[in-house]
Amino acid sequence: MINKYALGTVVGAALLALAKSKLGSGAQMKKGYKETFEVTIDFYLDENDFLPLQERQDILDQIKSIVESYGSIVDGIEFREIELAFGGNDYLMQIDISKTHFSERQIQSYVMNDFESEFYKTADKIHFMLKENNILPDDFNVGITNDYISGHPYIQNQSGEWVPYSKSELHVTKLRKR
């Protein structure tokens, strides 16, 4: 009959070997690209809604929540009064947002169209929320103002996160197979 301590040692060694084999070598890590989109959504407001909206923190928080629900970040919300050349003023709420995407390949144009469509959905949802709060924008405009790919390579680690790639990190994560 086998000793329970010996059995525990054997089972523990087997589990450790299994864990090492699941981690694999650094060669299994995938190099990838980080692409960041910067987008501006402009809402043209009525003069009567312009000043009161700036004081409505609850609505500004809802805007932030809507943007974040699409995996984007609000970089800023500005209110601007623009003097028009032919007289009068435009009242603008500008929402600057950004979204970062990681993938194994550089983003193709059809994927870019998916992101652009997502930003329009975000704007539609904000527009609907403003209407529910009796703020009636005259119109809105969505524009990707910047789209850049990081020059620094990224790798996807064992937990699925994308992290900056460096050779020293790769050596640390390698396990020797016996």
Give how far the C-alpha of residue 68 lies from the chain's centroid of Cα atoms, to the nearest Å. Answer: 8
**Which two tokens mark 71?**
């995996």
Q: Among 1-15, 69-83, 154-168, name the one with the lowest average pLDDT.
A: 1-15
Q: Where are the domains of the chain?
A: 4-29+157-173, 30-155
Q: How confident is the model at residue 89, as a pLDDT?
A: 85
Nearest to 59 by CA among 93, 82, 97, 89: 93
Tokens 């609000």 locate to 74
* Amino acid identity for residue 30 in this structure: K
Identify the helix (H) or strand (E) that includes residue 169. Answer: helix 167-173
What is the β-pairing status of strands 162-164 and 154-156? antiparallel
**pLDDT higher than threshold 90 for residue 58:** yes
30-155: CATH number: 3.30.70.260
Q: Please say if the pLDDT value at position 154 is more than 80.
A: no
State the Cα–Cα distance between residues 72 and 107, nearest whole angstrom. 17
**Average pLDDT, integer, range 62-84:** 92
Query: pTM of the predicted model, to two decimals?
Result: 0.68
